[in-house]
Amino acid sequence: MKVSILLSFFALSLMSLAGADPGPLKYPETRKSDASDDYHGTRVADPYRWLEDDNSLETGSWVRAQNEVTFGYLKTLPQRSKIIDRLSSLWNYDRTGMPSEYGGRWFYTRNTGLQNQSVLFTTTSLDKEPQVLLDPNLLSTDGTVALTDYAPSLDGKYLAYATSTGGSDWNEVRVRDIANGRDLSDHLRWVKFSNLSWLKDGGGFFYSRYAEPESGAALTEKNEFHQLYFHRLGTPQSEDKLIYERKDEPEWGFQGFVNEEGNYLIIQVWKGTEPNNRVFYKDLSQPDSTVVELLNEEDAKYQFVDSVGPVFLFRTDLEAPRHRVIAIDITNPEREHWQEIVPESKDLLDGVSTAGGLLFCQYLQDAKSAVRCFDFKGKLIRDIVLPGIGSAYGFSGWRDDKESFFAFTGFTEPGAIYRLDLTTGETKIWRKSKVKFEGNDYETEQVFFSSKDGTLVPMFIVHKRGIVLDGSHPLLLYGYGGFEISLTPDFSMQRAVWLEMGGVYAMPNLRGGGEYGADWHNAGIKLKKQNVFDDFIAAAEWLISKGYTSSSKLAIQGASNGGLLVGACMTQRPDLYAAALPSVGVMDMLRFHRFTIGWGWKSDFGSSENADEFEALFAYSPLHNLKPGTHYPATLVTTADHDDRVVPAHSFKFAARLQECQAVHGPPVLIRIETSAGHGAGTALNKVIEESADELAFLAQALRL
């Protein structure tokens, strides 16, 4: 009989190390001011508003004082060092990114194990040993400069690449000569929310940017008046050609894509996080052609897929909440002439890509991947056989390609990249991750539970095979629930260690997400946002009622909008959980729109500028619903000083108020503020490992593993 993981050496070691609580904490004093605002006749105090100034010496002193207490506490936890060792061991494996081909040359990223940033390689054949083209680890001494995007020219001669420093959304773009590995003089700054797309002749590329912010305001200033530019190779940025802007629409954003044939620039026009968008285009075969506003009603979501001559293919939710594929002939663009290529189905059409002249429609069946292949006229060619229950992505390439690639991963499967024969549909492994984790020791199940209003909500649960449902298991409940983002099975090193520690992991697909299309998303936004919190609370109650865990063993976790989720649920039901991990969360729902790209979230949250939406926001805003003397769960708030997506002031103010309100003799409520890091993407691996270990050690202590 196989010994349970609860009795494994690792888990036994952690249990033996779990000791008494390090003792009562003395939190730093946080000054309170008399700042307040009047919202439609309601006066709301904001005593910690001074923490919004990230440049002030007082804020800097507060950050240092909080970190001193937090790291002082974390270093006393006996489990921490062992968890760091285990995370480092698991992460020390060779992993490769998806390959792509340009001009007879292949490009892909690779990390040998514990490199802070993955390295970009190139080769003329996937059967040959690749050469290093760009190593971001050499761009800084601490690994905090990340490669955020790269685009080879179609002839494979040049590489346009973007980097960010310290986790900021701001990018700098340079160009590298692939033959000699040297950078050219090209250097673009103040690039944000942009892609890079080359002209077919390799003479230059399109990108998007904002104006240079005022000195000292780069990480907080509101981002408005996006612009689409063309950069001619070998010229200074000051000579770049402005392709499109809208001075009458400060919230519009632009991304330009050159189609495979090279004769059209497709301009995706977005407004914050609103799901509906516009699509314009520019004829690149005609000098000085004007931008044509093809889809300008913002009545649906339109994702450009591909083009055949003047016929553009789009994935859209127009009259199809779960999406379909349509064709628009731009020489005859009136709606009565649009054609449906792939109709809406019962499953969500989550994405569409092309390779070898075929359409690959990637569906979600109750948040699990399924892929179907069609020709450009909508005839079903075949279903793609996937390795199991999980998430698949990729399936892209050029029109004359004979093969494509896709990646597949799951909760207990680190993942592999597969080669797909476009003629036969046969697949074979190209690269497979070899992680020292026994995934077969665990199982994934999917259940459905009823929310407060009776809505059935799906949830994945991952745990050791054969566990007894007696309520004794520590359980980590993770959620998001917003912005039409779908949570699907994927592999996480932190989760793997949590499972090895005897933990159970649960992930519900909350309303507000995109798992079932527009209707599911719309059921969890603005005045209906409370549905998301109700779903999460119902998930916790269901897990307790079924014996997976108990309140004293239950922890909740979420990041960004998921951080808001955790903040709202721990203030609404502080009795339900023993620990909470809100990361880079939106905690001040009355002022989020005043910073960087925060205004773009109004489509999901609403705005305190509107009276009815103010009432809803004020009712659940985590910062404003903390009550003095309440026994809140042990809480570790995490944020970063370079987060210019959800500015750290959200977490600063929430943590200060939480420390003020926590009941006497209540468990620790701490804030961990990372330096030279941002919203998450591109964070150096050593920082990821340390933060993951701190969170797990904190949970081990709080849940008495």
Give the pair of three-digit tokens for residue 251: 């919230």
CA separation for the pair 701, 74 (Å, rounded): 10
Catalytic residue among 153, 231, 679, 692: 679
Burial of 190 (C-beta count, 10 Å sphere; 0-12/13-18/19+)? middle
Determine whether 187 is an active site residue. Answer: no
Query: Using an 8 Å Cβ cutoff, are 457 and 535 in contact?
Result: yes
Determine whether 679 is an active site residue. Answer: yes
Parallel, antiparallel or unpaired: strands 182-191 and 302-308: unpaired
Query: Using an 8 Å Cβ cutoff, are 536 and 573 in contact?
Result: no
Reduce the secondary structure of 414-476 to three states and give it as a string. Answer: CCEEEEEECCCCCEEEEEECCCCCCHHHEEEEEEEEECCCCCEEEEEEEEECCCCCCCCCCEE
Query: Using an 8 Å Cβ cutoff, are 604 and 525 in contact?
Result: yes
Catalytic residue among 451, 560, 608, 621: 560
Residues in contact with 306: Cβ distance below 8 Å, sequence separation at least 6, in sequence order: 259, 260, 312, 313, 354, 359, 376
Burial of 263 (C-beta count, 10 Å sphere; 0-12/13-18/19+)? middle
Residue positions counted in the chain: 705
Parallel, antiparallel or unpaired: strands 554-559 and 579-583: parallel
CA separation for the pair 61, 102 (Å, rounded): 50
DSSP letter at 592? G
Q: What are phi and psi of 185, to 5 degrees?
A: -75, -15
Q: Which residue, 24, 8, 9, is CA-closest to 76?
A: 24
CA separation for the pair 230, 461 (Å, rounded): 48
What single-letter amino acid sits at 427? T
Q: Which residues pair with 121 in a beta bridge?
A: 108, 132
CA separation for the pair 409, 415 (Å, rounded): 4
Q: Which residues pair with 457 in a beta bridge?
A: 449
Residue 489 to residues 226, 410, 543, 593, Cα–Cα distance (Å): 34, 5, 19, 32
Tabulate helix, strand, coil % of the chain (nearest 5): 25, 35, 45
Query: Using an 8 Å Cβ cutoff, are 170 and 190 in contact?
Result: yes
User: Which residues are known to be catalytic?
Assistant: 560, 679
